[in-house]
Amino acid sequence: MTANPKAEYFDGIAERWDGWEDLPALARRLDEGLAALGLQPDETVLDVGCGTGNLTRALLARLSPAGRVFAVDISPRMIEVARRKVPDPRVAWRTEDARRLSLAGASCDRAICFSVWPHFDDPAAVAAELGRVLRPGGTLHVWHLIARERVNAIHAGAGAAVRGDVLPPAPETAAVLAAAGFRVATATESETGYLVTGVKRGEP
């Protein structure tokens, strides 16, 4: 199988990733953000590009025993770190490409791409695949907690595998979601974050 340079890059930094974060502050901001997104206790949520599981852990804190998380990432080492950190039976950890998920159609209530959208080489294909696994009326969020310019500056100074990964202006991401069949509900960016939300068309 052909090596994936991005998977190898993230494998190489997986054990160091959390050391670059203020994890308590991140947890607070994620919790506040999930409340604002209207996360419901019994949802099935797809965490796309879950990394070391920080969003997954925040989701679990708000989900009931009936809630579920599918956490996917292209990096096996990121999944390993996340699995150790978040040993919760409500999570199914999967090493997968977001363009080709093993999930059944219409199996998720919500999909969240937290701090991962710039790394997709074909965002249109990802949006289409997420549309497939979301139920009608389900929501897709492209979400960052820092400004777009800051995201792009970080990638520009990182390893060669991600140096060209750019987060586009929110209207451009909104257009990708719209072309994939989503109704765009939110497309905002500021110095403190970035959020594009699409709702899958059709009756719930």
Give 13's contacts (C-beta < 8 A, 6+ positions apart).
none
pLDDT at position 202? 81
Work out the mean pLDDT of the chain and round it to a whole number: 96
- Domain 5-14+22-34+41-200's class? alpha beta
Q: What is the pLDDT of residues 107-156, one digit of tens each?
A: 999 999 999 999 999 999 999 999 999 999 999 999 999 999 999 999 99
pLDDT at position 186? 98
Instruction: Calculate what percentage of the chain has a pLDDT beyond 70.
Output: 98
DSSP 8-class letter at 64: -
**Residue 204 pLDDT greater than 90, yes or no:** no
The sign of the dihedral angle between the CA atoms of 174, 119, 74, 125 is: positive
- Alpha helix stretches (DSSP H) within the chain: 5-13, 23-37, 54-62, 76-85, 123-133, 148-156, 170-179
pLDDT at position 1? 42
Locate the domains of the chain by residue range: 5-14+22-34+41-200
Measured CA to CA, the distance from residue 69 to residue 190 in angstroms comes to 28
Burial 165-177 (b: 16+ CB within 10 A, else e): bebbebeebbbbb
Q: What is the pLDDT of residues 34-85, one digit of tens each?
A: 999 999 999 999 999 999 999 999 999 999 999 999 999 999 999 999 999 9
